[in-house]
Amino acid sequence: MALSVILPNFPSNSHSLSPSLHKHHKHHSYLLNLLTKSTSLSELKQIQAHTLRTTCPNFPDTLFLNSRIFHFSSLHDLDYTFRLFSQFQNPNSFIWNTLIRACANSEGKKDEVFGLYKSMLCDGSVMPDKYTFPVVLKACAYLFSIFEGRQLHCHVCKLGLGLDVYVRNSLIHFYGSCGCLDEARGVFGEKGERNVVSWNVMIDGLVRMREFDEAVRLFREMQMVFEPDGYVMQSMISACASLRSLALGMWCHCYVLRELGCEVFERMKKRDVHSWNSMILGLAMHGKAEAAIECFNCLVQEEGLVPNSITFMGVLAACNHGGLDVEEGRRFFDSMVNEYKIQPVLEHYGSLVDLLGRAGHIDEALDIIASMPMKPDAVIWRSILDACSKKSGGLELSEEVARQIFESEGVDCSGAYVLLSKVYAVANRWNEVGLIRNWMTDKGVKKEPGCSSIEMYGISHEFFAGDTSHSSTKEIYELLDVIDKRVEAIGYVPDVSQAPMVDDHELVDGKRHSLRLHSERLAIAFGLLNLPPGVPIRVFKNLRVCNDCHNVTKLISKIYNVDIIVRDRARFHHFRDGSCSCMDYW
């Protein structure tokens, strides 16, 4: 229905008829209601024309209605907004701010913002307020207008708005965006209120200028007073990538997943295939294979959506991480190729090969590799070598696979040496284990040190294998002694095959000692010492959890009645009451 049809037929210049105040107010309310429902510039113009024809210009409700018309026009057509602005005899601060904001949000008009600000000052009838400066400073930051921004800072101080948190945040953002970190620090350090945005923009400015160490330090301070949000996590992930800080980067990634997980998905009114893919991948990462498969079935059967290549990456990962029947993985792979006509990529083949290898179907996995239309990468070969390391025999195959890895990644690949040493250790070929260690020493290849981090009251604590640098080292090692006695009392026997890289002269006791000093055990002990009963212990590790630490962590969860979540390089492990979500399949 055309808007002109539903507009009331008030007589022209009805204000000359001096209608009652009640009638005027009712008419203005009606027009305002129409304005809020308008969806196009054409409807807006009809309402504006009708307002001019049927309302008293100086009536307070009319002034408010005109300001709302002006605001709505600024969202639709900037040229029309300028024409409306010229009709205001004495525009108030709201009108000026609306016009300035409209220009600041327009790609082609940002360079006019500071000129409008000067016009506002020259007008003299109204002064800029706390709503003016954030908009103008944002435009100056976008244009790197340092001189103009500094003038604005002087005006802020002159007008006594320096303590307003929103103005201060805009100044920090301006200086940080323009690379003026000393000025940004100065505003940030001034007395006054700080909200989460204050910390976000300061940290973002540091990251922009590649002051990554200081950004991380400030982030740790922020955690003491505010819960980080998605904005600052984005900055921190960039900082971690530049610093190559895997542990903190993994912590940031997992924090984001925790923020944007199942609850957000359940609240979504409309879910597309990308939303479902994120959910399936997240469930797979946490070892919830059945739930991931259920999501896939809902996507196809209930939502009627068509899965894509990413969907099947998630489903195959769920089969792999969840220890599902190999036949389930084969079925999904065949469905992807034959039913949905999706051409498998390297990641699909990699998941299937890993699934088959973990289940002991190494020959079938090799057949898949041979049938691939592309060259296998080192990740696929490492899956085969890892499968060989979990059972005795197959030394000749393992050596050939290791050669393939060295061809793909070079002889400096420490992971291949470690996996091959595990193969020899499982076969009790300790002389070969020693030879590998010597090879690594001769070639200068260093095994990546294990590092685990744990969040404690908003602060991340890092531990390396055998770490003695933490302030709580004495208490941690005393608790490890207690843990050793308690787990041995219920039948724990160390799996020394997971400590093959110790010196040849070390005996079993030495291997046991090296295992108990793995970084995740130090982090878990620290968590037991400091977290209240009932609070889960969350640990993030840069390497895969070894068999022995996995067994010990299961026992700790039972003995101390605590939930322990360990995110290693491959996936999440949820330990509870003596068992793990991965069902010992990782």
- The percent of residues in the chain predicted with pLDDT above 90, rounded, is 21
Long-range contacts of 216-224 (CB under 8 A, 24+ apart): 216/240, 216/243, 216/245, 216/248, 220/458, 220/459, 220/460, 222/196, 223/458, 223/459, 224/457, 224/458, 224/459
- The percent of residues in the chain predicted with pLDDT above 70, rounded, is 76
Q: How many other C-beta atoms are found inside a 10 Å radius of the C-beta of residue 137?
A: 28
Q: What are phi and psi of 5, to 5 degrees?
A: -70, -35
pLDDT tens digits along 135-162: 999 989 888 888 999 999 999 999 999 8
Classify residue 22 as exposed, middle or buried by CB count within 10 Å of its CB (0-12, 13-18, 19+). exposed
| Stretch 52-60: mean pLDDT | 56
Q: What angle do CA 504, 506, 508 make, to 5 degrees?
A: 120
Token readout for 263 is: 């609850």
Token readout for 302 is: 């209930």
What integer pLDDT is reported at residue 3 of this predicted model? 44
pLDDT tens digits along 327-367: 888 999 999 999 999 999 888 998 899 889 888 888 899 99
3-state secondary structure 126-149: CCCCCCHHHHHHHHHHHHCCHHHH
| pLDDT confidence tier of residue 24, bands split at 50, 70 and 90 | low
In the predicted structure, residue 48 carries a pLDDT above the cut 70 = no
pLDDT tens digits along 189-227: 888 888 989 999 999 999 888 888 888 889 888 877 887
Q: Are strands 451-456 and 459-464 parallel, antiparallel or unpaired?
A: antiparallel
Contact 201, 173 (CB under 8 A): yes
| Stretch 545-555: mean pLDDT | 90
pLDDT tens digits along 118-130: 988 888 788 888 8
What integer pLDDT is reported at residue 15 of this predicted model? 44
What integer pLDDT is reported at residue 4 of this predicted model? 44
| Stretch 102-114: mean pLDDT | 82
| pLDDT confidence tier of residue 319, bands split at 50, 70 and 90 | confident
CA–CA separation, 62 vs 486, rounded Å? 79
3-state secondary structure 506-536: CCHHHHHHHHHCCHHHHHHHHHHHHCCCCCC
Q: How many other C-beta atoms are found inside a 10 Å radius of the C-beta of residue 469?
A: 8
Residue 307's nearest CA partner among 328, 316, 267, 257 is 316
Identify the sign of the CA torsion 192, 197, 203, 207: negative
What integer pLDDT is reported at residue 202 of this predicted model? 94
Q: Are strands 564-567 and 451-456 parallel, antiparallel or unpaired?
A: unpaired
pLDDT tens digits along 80-97: 778 777 777 788 888 888
pLDDT tens digits along 503-514: 443 444 545 556
What integer pLDDT is reported at residue 443 of this predicted model? 73
CA–CA separation, 507 vs 418, rounded Å? 19
| pLDDT confidence tier of residue 575, bands split at 50, 70 and 90 | very high
In whole numbers, what is the pLDDT of the chain averaged over residues?
Answer: 79
Q: What are phi and psi of 459, to 5 degrees?
A: -120, 135
What integer pLDDT is reported at residue 420 of this predicted model? 81
Token readout for 480 is: 């490890």
What integer pLDDT is reported at residue 480 of this predicted model? 92
| pLDDT confidence tier of residue 133, bands split at 50, 70 and 90 | very high
What integer pLDDT is reported at residue 535 of this predicted model? 84
From first CA to last CA, the distance across the chain in angstroms is: 63
In the predicted structure, residue 173 carries a pLDDT above the cut 50 = yes
| pLDDT confidence tier of residue 555, bands split at 50, 70 and 90 | very high
pLDDT tens digits along 389-424: 776 557 788 888 888 887 776 666 677 777 888 788
Q: How many other C-beta atoms are found inside a 10 Å radius of the C-beta of residue 76?
A: 17
pLDDT tens digits along 477-493: 999 999 999 999 988 88
Residue that is written with structure tokens 């491959």 in the block: 570
What integer pLDDT is reported at residue 32 of this predicted model? 58
Contact 307, 300 (CB under 8 A): yes
What integer pLDDT is reported at residue 5 of this predicted model? 40
Q: How many other C-beta atoms are found inside a 10 Å radius of the C-beta of residue 445?
A: 17
pLDDT tens digits along 444-453: 777 778 888 8
